[in-house]
Structure 1
Amino acid sequence: MKRLFMFLIILTSLINAQIFKTDSPLAHTYSIVAIDPETGDMGVAVQSHWFSVGTIVSWGEAGVGVIATQSFVNASFGPHGLELLKSGLTAKEVLDKLISEDEGREFRQLAILDAKGNVAAFTGKNCIQPAGHITGKGYSVQANLMMNDKVWPAMSKAFENSKGSFAERILDALDAAQKVGGDIRGKQSAALLIVRAKSTGKVWEDRLIDLRVDDSNEPLKELRRLYKVHQAYQHMNNGDLAVEKNDMNKAMQEYSTAMKMFPENLEMKFWTAVALANKGNLEKALPMFKEIFKKDKNWKTLTPRLIPNGLLTVDENTLKEILK
């Protein structure tokens, strides 16, 4: 009878555990939520040995906050948590409400940061060990199913001591986690999301950075590469805006900065050459056009099409010289 009783207890525990494994996405991982003390921008970043971790773990909205929901993920914590923050609750109040209403709370790991920099975190006792979190001034780092218990302390130290930009400090925290062991299963996906301190009402402008690596042998290295590409294309976008305003000096500066970051990128090189031609600096522009056209003739086909809308402001003879 005693054996039967013990068997039923064990069976019940296994069934309960399996419920969360079945109903909840598995995102055993390490992550960080943080606020930039200088701008008020907020960020959340994550890495896991799980496909497309950024689609279920990281959530954020400008002027509201950022959330990381992980372990046996209750994905509703993301959108529901943001709605509660928007209603005026603090990060701690939202976390307490979400956790208290979730019967699977002990399998969850959750971190919330609100627009005022308040932060709260929770690690359920049934998260796969090693698991834990550290909250600091304007940030929280959390991890579960790690190689060892050094992961989240390493993240905390890296974020606090990093001297780079806000995005780079967040990426440094992820790198620090990996250096001391990271996810015991290895690496697969990563994500970085940064939103504005205050909403402009334009969602497409409020997400300052939104990068995901869904499946890679080196997701953190790839995330770093994408961040660099993102920075370069920001300069390209700034250059385009300057062209719209007929500020060719500004356009030239922005395009050149982007090109220096990725000198082999033909598009960046092409628009730099266009800006040079528009300024009348054919001495520098012509060799660049020649190199670009040699590598990809489609850019040569495109060039005359820029004349009617004023993106290339050269006369007919100069155009012929460029295409020659």
Structure 2
Amino acid sequence: MKNHKKILLTLLLIGTLSTYGQNLPSLLTEKNINSTFSILAYDENAKEWGIAVATNNIYVGNSTIYIEPELGAFSVIAETEPKYATQGFENLKKGKSIKQAITEVKNGDSQANYRQVSGIDAKGNVFAFTGKSLKYWNGKASQILGTNYVVMGNQLADEVLSSMSSTFENSKGTLAERLLKSLIAGQNAGGQISGKQSAAVVVKGANNEWYNQIDLRVDNSKNPVEELQTLMNYHYGRIRLNQALYAKREGNLERAKQKLTEAESMLNGWTGMYSKIAGANIAVGNENSAVNWIKKGLAENSNWKTNLPAFYFLRDNLELKSIIKPDSFSVKDWESAIGMLSNLGQELEVIKLAEELIDKNIESSYLNFLIGRSYFYEKETDKAIKHLEKALKMDSENIEAQMLLDKIRIN
């Protein structure tokens, strides 16, 4: 009976080889396999290192991307193995070349023939290898090394890597944008012949600013690369929106409107940003556009109505007067209303409204902080101190009130 079971198991295994031959290492070793394509690159002007990757497996960004700013980066695909990164970084720290860093790990790896690894050092020098067994998998397995970048992949349509390479070399924008353009080009050229399921792009910069520390992932989707583009649009759209508000504060209305228009096209679908977009439109004088974004938020998200009190100042607008109801405002709602007025630089309106509320015994620690801040902006220091002290009396943990009060007293 035992011999019969062994024979049956052998026959079943052999029967799977024609269909799943490329996945045999994972079936035998129980390791994760990522039949994948990726691009790894360095932007010497921005001093950023980045990797974009896509696959027909789930959460590809989890086991294929390794970056240490000012040291280098590694992309490990096919039969993944983290030691190419962990030991590779140690080798780079010892002053070894990127080729040496990878080759030393490869020489001690009994399954190197099932792997694809690319690496780049702090100066943009690159190296990569494609395991010899990958040529037996379905599709194309190869790599292209360029100036400051590597594209590689397996189980690919024929033109994937060449499309990725040419697109990256000829594209403009930030490193993250160029990486994603390359990934999209690879997908449009046929991508993996076995399908698509996840994608990721990670960029880290030497200056450690939040806007160039990008980690975007789509872990399980029918259209992962397209969804990754949406996430990147959201990332840069938020930056454009902040740029619009900054330009307005600096008195550059033309630039503010330009950046706001760019932001609107990139943030469509992210309902959490609609309130800020509406506020920015008010700031540049586009009340009709602000109203449209408010209506859009309400139509796309039933919970968006919690943002309505912030637009108290639009209570007389014909399209909004029936849904903005100050008589039912809570203290938190009034805080939102006054906070938006302050964000728009309407400090005198803040003072007027807040004083009216206080006369009606509608107040809180945060309301007193907001009115105190507005008095501070209007250079009425004594009144600012009065309300900030009251804010702290109502809530001794109001850190914003304490910080502003300390600033006033120091000056």
Give TM-score, length-normalised by structure 1: 0.77
CA distance in 2, matches of 1:132, 1:97: 21
Distance 1:217 1:317 in 2: 52
CA contact (8 A) 1:158 1:173 kept: yes
1:173 to 171, 179, 182: 182
For the 8 Å contact 1:293–1:300, the answer to whether it is kept is: no
The residue number in structure 1 matching 2:234 is 229
> Are 2:150 and 1:143 equivalent residues in the alignment?
no
Counterpart CA distance in 1 for 2:79 and 2:293 is 53
Query: Paired residue for 2:105?
Result: 98
Letter in 2 for 1:138: N
**Aligned letter for 1:93?**
Q
Partner of 1:152: 161
User: Given the superposition, is the C-alpha separation of residues 113 and 185 from structure 1 closer, same or farther in structure 2, using an over 3 Å criterion?
Assistant: same
Distance 1:300 1:78 in 2: 49
Does structure 2 conserve the Cα–Cα contact (< 8 Å) formed by 1:154 and 1:173? yes
Counterpart of 1:301, as a letter, is P
Show the counterpart of 1:131.
141
Q: 1:223 to 1:117 in 2, by over 3 A?
A: same
Residues 277-319 of structure 1 deviation map (CA, whole Å, 9 limit, x = unaligned): 568x5xx347725862782421123453243694354315986
Q: How far off its partner does 1:223 sit?
A: 1.3
- In the TM superposition, residue 262 of structure 1 has moved relative to its aligned partner by 3.3
Offset of 1:95 from its aligned partner?
0.8
Residue type of the alignment partner of 2:117: L
- Deviation of 1:252 (Å): 5.0
- Using the TM superposition, name which of 87-96 and 103-112 deviates more: 87-96
Aligned match of 2:306: 298
Q: Distance in 1 between matches of 2:226 and 2:40?
A: 20
- Please state if 1:189 is matched with 2:198: yes
How many Å apart are 1:231 and its aligned residue? Answer: 0.7
Alignment of 1:57 onto 2:64: yes
Shift in CA distance, 187/236, structure 1 to aligned 2, threshold 3 Å:
same
Change (3 A) 1:264 1:182: closer
Give distance in 2, aligned partners of 1:108 and 1:188.
20
Higher alpha-carbon deviation: 75-84 or 260-269: 260-269
Distance of 1:60 and 1:35 partners within structure 2? 11
Equivalent residue letter for 1:97? E
Cα gap change, 1:270 to 1:67, in 2 (>3 Å) = same
Which 4+ residue blocks in structure 1 deviate beyond 6 angstroms?
Answer: 317-320
Contact 1:21 1:72 survives alignment (8 Å): no
Q: Which amino acid aligns with 1:259?
A: E
Cα contact 1:66–1:113 (8 A) shared by 2: yes
Conserved? CA contact 2:275–2:293, under 8 Å? no
**Secondary structure class of the residue paired with 1:190:** strand
Query: Is the contact made by 1:31 and 1:68 (CA closer than 8 Å) also made in structure 2?
Result: yes
| CA shift digits 1:143-167 (9 cap, x unpaired) | 112244x332332233223345433
User: What SS is found at the alignment partner of 2:74?
Assistant: strand
CA deviation vs aligned residue, 1:23-59 (integer Å, no higher than 9, x gap): 4310111111112243232211111100011111112
Q: For residues 299 and 157 of structure 1, what CA distance do their matches in structure 2 show?
A: 46
- Say if 1:248 and 1:62 are closer, same or farther in 2 by CA, change over 3 A: farther
- Is 1:24 the equivalent of 2:31? yes
Match of 2:75 in 1: 68
- Over 3 Å counting, the alpha-carbon distance change for 1:278 and 1:234 in structure 2 is closer
Conserved? CA contact 1:266–1:292, under 8 Å: no
Alignment of 1:311 onto 2:313: no
Out of 40, 44, 51, the position equivalent to 2:47 is 40
Q: Structure 1 residues 206, 85: closer, same or farther in 2, change over 3 A? A: farther
Instruction: Report how many residues are paired.
Output: 298
Q: Distance in 2 between matches of 1:19 and 1:291?
A: 50
> Share of identical aligned residues, percent?
30
Structure 2 contact 238–267 (Cα < 8 Å) conserved? no
Query: Residue by residue, what CA displacement relative to the aligned partner does 1:109-149 show, whole Å, maximum 9, x if unpaired?
Result: 1000112000000111112443111111111111112244x
Alignment partner, residue 3 of structure 1: none
Aligned mates of 2:163, 2:335 — CA distance in 1: 53
SS at match of 1:24: coil
- Greater helix proportion: 2
Q: 1:233 and 1:194, CA in 2 relative to 1: closer, same or farther beyond 3 A?
A: same
Secondary structure of 2:220's match? coil
Identify if the C-alpha distance between structure 1 residues 179 and 235 changes in structure 2 by more than 3 Å, giving closer, same or farther: closer
Indicate how the Cα distance of structure 1 residues 225 and 260 shifts in structure 2: closer, same or farther if over 3 A, else same.
closer
TM-score, normalising length: structure 2: 0.62
Q: CA-atom RMSD, angstroms?
A: 3.6
Deviations 1:7-28 (A, max 9, x none): 9xxx9xx9xx647852431011
Residue 131 of structure 1 aligns to which amino acid in structure 2? A
2:116 corresponding residue in structure 1: 109
The question of whether the paired residues in 1 share the 8 Å contact of 2:118 and 2:127 is answered with: yes
The answer (yes or no) to whether the contact 1:24–1:74 under 8 Å persists in 2 is: no
Letter in 2 for 1:110: V
